[in-house]
Homo-oligomer: A and B are copies of this chain.
């Protein structure tokens, strides 16, 4: 049983079917094909807004391109200290932005407290010569801890960022998982709340390799076509990504997939709640569960061949500490996680 990540799954059948359907005849290259154009139109509909869309093959590329577009080389990006852009992309944002600085902020559950944004900005005098210039705020929705920002929280972050003109980027590698939990519209979770640029994640949602950088102000996206090309992210057979989004976005399939993953996580979280050997490190709000596991439970899971990741304690809520032998474990559900497996895992944990 492998709960290590939602990227260990393949692609959903709808995505596979869409790729197969697109594999017919010739198509114009480099993202000028009909499937890519179709994806662009779908995004405009989904977000109820004019958008500029750039399809790429990895979340790392989407995030790094997005941040490079809104930050000068001497600029700084405020982000959570454990965010993917700060800690899991081997310096990709620094590479794509020609050396901008990521400033990592602490915060329980990997959520950035708005007042910390304000206090941090106060340390960087506007226009000062010697310091880098804060120019962007990057938040992750859902976070790496499986938590989500409420609409009010996003709005509060925007309010903290706006006085200094920071652009707000949302890393939406698990955008759909957050969206179905909040039950709001994609527009409400993004531009209506103050998001300027979004990394829309298709891969973890059920595609093979399909991510989109989405600008809600197309006028600001003018240079991204060159950045993307120059980064080797402009596929010649661009319909491969366009078709994946076709399969994903049609008929709300992407939301169905996310609902399934979230439901599996909720089932596991409820087992943790009942267990005397585990407790939740953070509330389960998307498709991942982070129980604090007793030593005995760790042994039992190991013997049962359950795959999960040990996780960092840096963002535990105030007051939560680990007893000796305890660890935080990460269990991530995907569109393809089978209910039977989750039930078996739940049984192991509740036992």
A interface, CB within 8 angstroms of B: 2, 4-5, 7-11, 16, 19-20, 22-30, 56-62, 64-65, 72-74, 87-92, 94-102, 123, 129-133, 203-204, 208-209, 223, 225-227, 229-237, 239-240, 312, 336
User: Of B8, B16, B27, B231, which is within 8 A of A8 by CB?
Assistant: B27
**A132 to B91, Cβ gap below 8 A?**
yes
> Which A-B residue pairs are the 3 nearest by beta carbons?
A61-B232, A10-B23, A94-B99
User: Of B4, B28, B226, which is within 8 A of A133 by CB?
Assistant: B226
User: Of B24, B96, B129, which is within 8 A of A225 by CB?
Assistant: B129
Count of chain copies: 4
- A7, A25, A225, A229: which has the most chain B beta carbons within 10 Å? A229
Report B-chain residues with C-beta under 8 Å of the C-beta of A30. Answer: 129-130
CB distance from A53 to the nearest CB of B (A): 16
Report B-chain residues with C-beta under 8 Å of the C-beta of A225. Answer: 129
**B27 to A60, Cβ gap below 8 A?**
no
The docked-state distance in angstroms from the alpha carbon of A57 to that of B65 is 16
**A10 to B27, Cβ gap below 8 A?**
yes
The docked-state distance in angstroms from the alpha carbon of A209 to that of B208 is 12
**B73 to A230, Cβ gap below 8 A?**
yes
**B90 to A95, Cβ gap below 8 A?**
no
**B9 to A230, Cβ gap below 8 A?**
no
- A25, A133, A240: which has the most chain B beta carbons within 10 Å? A240
Report B-chain residues with C-beta under 8 Å of the C-beta of A97. Answer: 99
The docked-state distance in angstroms from the alpha carbon of A91 to that of B291 is 39
Q: Helix, strand, loop or mixed for chain A's interface?
A: loop
**A74 to B227, Cβ gap below 8 A?**
yes
Which residue from chain B places its CB closest to the CB of A59 in the assembled complex? B236
Report B-chain residues with C-beta under 8 Å of the C-beta of A58. Answer: 232-236
Which residue from chain B places its CB closest to the CB of A314 in the assembled complex? B123
A-B contact pairs, 12 of them (CB 8 A): A16-B19, A19-B19, A58-B232, A60-B229, A61-B231, A73-B91, A90-B130, A90-B131, A95-B98, A95-B99, A208-B237, A209-B236
**B88 to A130, Cβ gap below 8 A?**
yes
In the complex with contacts A7-B237, A101-B102, A94-B92 CB distance below 8 A: no
CB distance from A142 to the nearest CB of B (A): 16
**B20 to A16, Cβ gap below 8 A?**
yes
Report B-chain residues with C-beta under 8 Å of the C-beta of A2. Answer: 26
**B91 to A99, Cβ gap below 8 A?**
yes
**A72 to B226, Cβ gap below 8 A?**
yes
11 new A-B pairs (CB below 8 Å) besides A4-B28, A10-B27?
A: A8-B26, A56-B232, A61-B233, A72-B226, A74-B226, A74-B230, A89-B230, A90-B229, A130-B229, A209-B236, A231-B232
CB distance from A270 to the nearest CB of B (A): 23
User: Of B28, B73, B131, B133, which is within 8 A of A95 by CB?
Assistant: B73
The docked-state distance in angstroms from the alpha carbon of A100 to that of B101 is 9
**A92 to B10, Cβ gap below 8 A?**
no
**B234 to A131, Cβ gap below 8 A?**
no
